[in-house]
Amino acid sequence: MKEGVVAIVGPQSSSAASFAAHIGRATKVPFVSFGATDPNLSEMQYPYFIRVVPSDVLQMDAIASFVANYGWKEVAMFHMDDDYGTNGASSLSDSLQARSMKLVEKVPISPWMDTSSIEQILEQLMNQQTRVFVLHAHPDVGLAILQEAYNLNMMGYGYVWIATDQITISLEDTPLPPGVVRNTQGIIGIRPYIPPSLKLQRFFNSWNKNFPTHFDEPDQINPYALYAYDAIWTISYALSSYLKTNGKINFISPRKMPNQSGGKSELSKMKIFEAGEVFKDEILRTRFLGTSGLIKFDKNGDLIGGAFEYVNMVGRNPHGVGYWWPNYNRVSLSPPSEHELLNLTNIPQNPGFLYQGSSSNVTKMPIIWPGGLTNTPRGWALPKNGNPLIIGVPRKAGYTELVGVTMDTQNQTVIDGFCIQVFKAALDLVPYDVPYKFELLGDGITTPKYSDLIQKLANQVLIVIIYAILF
């Protein structure tokens, strides 16, 4: 930038983009990112930041639509402890709230967390009600969490794990070791949907001709490679149009600014693109069909539209199970049509029409959930450290074959009998843990009064009275 730059492709990460965007504003040089998805980069304080990748606002809407489809009301989220993770979590919270759902837990995580710290966090979540977890993290961190979740039996029946795009793409990108395959079975992944097109096919053929790869089909290419390719073409198209209209590229040197130590700041050596704002506007007007789909920007420099695909990890490879795009804003079994993709908007339509609890409105995707479950998980469980069900057990001398209260050799109370066995057998059929404890009523000689038992229910001293039919 010391020699004069009109535009820069990148950065890839959101954390780097935040810093780079400030430089872009100071030098009037547009940054066209192919990987930075932090929603806050759309703010007015970053006027020279532009991206050809969908903002996480849309990805979180896709996740919220998935959760709403199954009627789950509460979600917990692991997110990176940086702007990318924190702002993504805020977007998910907003998207859930718009659909009368709630993000009940935000768990910040860092690349430096050790195994014991991750284990401690997971154990705390096990003792809470929600069983729907979202992973919004870098691949290595996300896979470490899934590893510990597997060790704690949190990758089994009743659990739902939803991974955002970085983790999902990493599971598709390289051959997976057996341990990763085992730890990720049944999870749902979100990834950008790259529509098939003649341009994509031509790019794929040309790439394989010059650089043979192991890819068999265009949809196996990392989406961010396609976004990077389209970012370069975005700048090229805009520059060509700019030169035809203006024909001049001039730079000016800024006023020398001392740094805190009294020397000259490196930033003071960067040249300012004199027509930077004009060129930025030229980029924002650029519209073309790229390898990743339609490239079109709003006034904030965000890509308009952006569809997503839901994938299910079964075996060694994720399998596509559904789609989402802004204009439809709910789960679909079929991908958007070419017409729908060419008319995408980044403004979600009314989320209020989404699934509100009627099973007839559920879009039934062919998903195999953690533990090999094919039925939709409940999404919640009674917390292990929560208040147990208080079961009233009337105590009297008769009918011991139905309800018997005795003392064992260690002077411990033993409650048994046909009715007790039926109760426990019924609990065994419930697909989640139900903590409970028996509350003995009466002295074993005199039958407790029925009115007294009902009063205990009314006062919520007891939740259930079993065996009231005995009286």
Rounded to an integer, the average pLDDT of 308-333 is 92
DSSP state of 463: S
Residue 427: predicted pLDDT: 76
Confidence band of 346 (pLDDT split at 50, 70, 90): low
Per the CB < 8 A criterion, the answer to whether 175 and 214 are in contact is: no
Q: How confident is the model at residue 154 (pLDDT cuts 50, 70, 90)?
A: very high
The C-alpha angle 381, 383, 380, rounded to 5 degrees, equals: 20
In our burial notation (b when 16+ CB lie closer than 10 A, e otherwise), range 388-411 reads: eebbbbbbbeebeeebebeeeeee
The CATH class of the 8-53+198-295 domain is: alpha beta
All residues at 6 or more sequence positions from 424 whose CB lies less than 8 Å from its CB, including other chains: none
Question: What confidence tens digit (pLDDT) does each residue in 436-463 have?
Answer: 777 777 766 666 666 766 666 666 554 5
CA distance 61 to 306: 11
Rounded to an integer, what distance in angstroms lies between the CA atom of residue 414 and that of residue 367?
44
Any residues with CB less than 8 A from the CB of 269 and at least 6 apart, and which? 2
φ/ψ (deg, to 5) at 360:
-70, -20
* For the chain, domain boundaries: 8-53+198-295, 56-193+306-372, 389-470
Give the three-class secondary structure for 31. Answer: strand
CA angle centred on 406, ends 403 and 412, rounded to 5°: 125
pLDDT band for 226, please (50, 70, 90 cuts): very high
Q: Mean pLDDT across the stretch 378-397?
A: 72
Checking if the pLDDT of 315 tops 80, the result is yes
Under a CB-based contact definition with an 8 Å cutoff, are residues 374 and 368 in contact?
A: yes
- pLDDT of 435 strictly over 90: no
Q: Taking 90 as the threshold, does the pLDDT of residue 96 lie above it?
A: yes
Kindly tell me if the per-residue pLDDT of 228 is higher than 70. yes
Are 234 and 252 in contact by the 8 Å Cβ rule? The answer is: no
Residues 82-107 have a mean pLDDT of 95
Select from 3.40.50.300, 3.40.50.1100, 3.40.50.2300, 3.90.650.10 the CATH code of 56-193+306-372: 3.40.50.2300
Tell me what pLDDT residue 260 has. 47
Report the chain's mean pLDDT, rounded to a whole number. Answer: 84
Q: Is 439 helix (H, G, I), strand (E, B) or coil?
A: strand
Percentage above 90 pLDDT, the chain: 48
* Rounded Cα gap, residues 43 and 39, in angstroms: 8
Enter the tokens of residue 203: 């790019």
Q: What is the pLDDT of residues 252-302, one digit of tens each?
A: 877 654 454 444 555 566 788 888 899 999 999 999 999 999 999 999 999
SS3 content of the chain, % helix, strand, coil (to 5): 40, 20, 45
- The pair of structure tokens assigned to 57 is 């606002």
Instruction: Output Rg (C-alpha) for the chain, integer angstroms.
Output: 29
162 in Cβ contact with 322 (< 8 Å): no
- Report which listed range, 63-77, 237-251, 338-352, 413-427, is most confident: 63-77
Q: What is the largest CA-CA distance in the chain?
A: 104
- Number of alpha carbons in the 13 Å side-chain half-sphere of residue 271: 14
Partners of 373 in the β-ladder: 369
Predicted pLDDT at 13: 85
Residue 28 has pLDDT above 60, yes or no: yes
Is 56-193+306-372 the same fold as 8-53+198-295? yes
pLDDT at 73 over 90: yes
Which has the minimum average pLDDT: 164-173, 235-244, 305-314, 415-424? 415-424
Average pLDDT on 334-347 reads 78
Report CA 151 to chain centroid distance, whole Å. Answer: 22
Predicted confidence (pLDDT) at residue 400 exceeds the cutoff of 90: no
What is the model's pLDDT at position 54?
Answer: 94
Tell me the pTM: 0.80
Residue type, 380: W
368 alpha-carbon distance from chain centroid: 18
H/E element holding 426? helix 418-428
| pLDDT-derived band at 115, boundaries 50, 70, 90 | very high
Record the tokens describing residue 395, joined without a space: 């105590």
| Residue 164, token pair as written in the block | 């955002």
Residue 259 tokens read as: 């740094």
pLDDT at 385: 59
The proportion of the chain whose per-residue pLDDT surpasses 70, expressed as a percent, equals 82
**26 phi/psi in degrees, rounded to 5:** -70, -35
Q: For residue 360, is pLDDT > 70?
A: no
CA end-to-end span of the chain, whole Å?
Answer: 89
* Range with the poorest average pLDDT among 247-261, 309-323, 325-339, 418-432: 247-261
* Nearest of 137, 182, 131 to residue 160 by alpha carbon: 131
pLDDT for 358 beyond 60:
no
Q: What are 3's two structure tokens?
A: 């020699």
- Which pLDDT value is given to residue 458? 63
pLDDT at 354: 43
pLDDT at site 258? 46
